[in-house]
């Protein structure tokens, strides 16, 4: 009789572990350890994350949920929160150079590459140029070289001379061969 009762109790316990909706409650052993109390800063960020989800696509919302989960687990981890705040806040422009396109904290500066509007027969860009500073001062990226402004001016002078030569060749090509005596 006693065995039967125990059996019934176990069955009831199992039944009780199943919600009326059919949703299975997790066993105590499967539950994560009690989450630490959230600091007010963490609570603040969690609220911002909820707001940031408005009108966003499912992937982005899932990402924000993941971040929120990490924060809840950590309670208030400066590392998690700093990363989150950096993601949420608008990117700060470069403080060193007005021409630098990089944002946020960075040591290597550069602006966008520009090339001649025409490409060569293979679609390759011609004479691309940009400004860079890898920590050795501002350089001009030209002809696959990192040139000081002075060196870049010298290269430019050589290129101008070459362009003049191209122009002379074009003029030669335009000459009427029948009037070669001129
Ligand atoms: Zn910069």
In percent, the amount of the chain with pLDDT more than 90 equals: 45
Tokens of 180: 């070669």
- Condensed to tens digits (0 to 9), the pLDDT of residues 125-142 reads 999 999 999 999 999 999
Ligand 1 centroid – CA 132 distance (Å): 9
Residue 7: pLDDT over 60: no
Rounded CA-CA distance 20/69 in Å is 27
Ligand 1 centroid – CA 111 distance (Å): 8
DSSP element (H, E) containing 84: helix 78-88
Ligand 1 centroid – CA 60 distance (Å): 28
Per-residue confidence band for 4, with pLDDT thresholds at 50, 70 and 90: very low
pLDDT of residue 9: 46
Residue 180: pLDDT over 80: no
pLDDT of residue 11: 47
Domain positions in the chain? 18-88, 109-179
Ligand 1 centroid – CA 63 distance (Å): 29
pLDDT of residue 30: 61
**CB neighbour list of residue 128: distance below 8 Å, 6 or more residues apart:** 113, 114, 115, 141, 142
pLDDT of residue 72: 85
Tokens of 78: 């400066």
- Condensed to tens digits (0 to 9), the pLDDT of residues 153-174 reads 999 999 999 999 999 999 999 9
Ligand 1 centroid – CA 48 distance (Å): 29
Residue 3: pLDDT over 80: no
Ligand 1 centroid – CA 143 distance (Å): 22
- Condensed to tens digits (0 to 9), the pLDDT of residues 52-110 reads 898 888 988 998 898 888 888 888 777 777 777 777 767 789 999 999 999 888 999 99
Strands 109-110 and 129-133 come out as antiparallel
pLDDT of residue 166: 97
Nearest to 78 by CA among 129, 103, 42: 42
């Amino acid at each position: 009789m006693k065995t039967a009762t125990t059996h019934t109790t176990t069955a009831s316990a199992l039944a009780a572990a199943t919600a009326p909706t059919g949703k299975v409650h997790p066993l105590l052993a499967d539950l994560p350890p009690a989450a630490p109390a959230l600091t007010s800063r963490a609570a603040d960020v969690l609220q911002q994350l909820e707001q940031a989800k408005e009108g966003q696509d499912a992937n982005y919302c899932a990402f924000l949920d993941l971040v929120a989960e990490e924060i809840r687990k950590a309670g208030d981890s400066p590392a998690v929160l700093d990363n989150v705040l950096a993601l949420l806040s608008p990117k700060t422009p470069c403080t060193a150079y007005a021409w630098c396109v990089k944002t946020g904290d960075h040591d290597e500066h550069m602006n966008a590459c520009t090339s001649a509007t025409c490409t060569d027969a293979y679609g390759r860009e011609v004479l691309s140029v940009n400004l860079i500073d890898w920590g050795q001062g501002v350089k001009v990226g030209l002809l696959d070289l990192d040139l000081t402004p002075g060196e870049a001016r010298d290269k430019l002078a050589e290129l101008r001379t070459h362009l003049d030569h191209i122009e002379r060749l074009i003029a030669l090509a335009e000459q009427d061969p029948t009037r070669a005596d001129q």
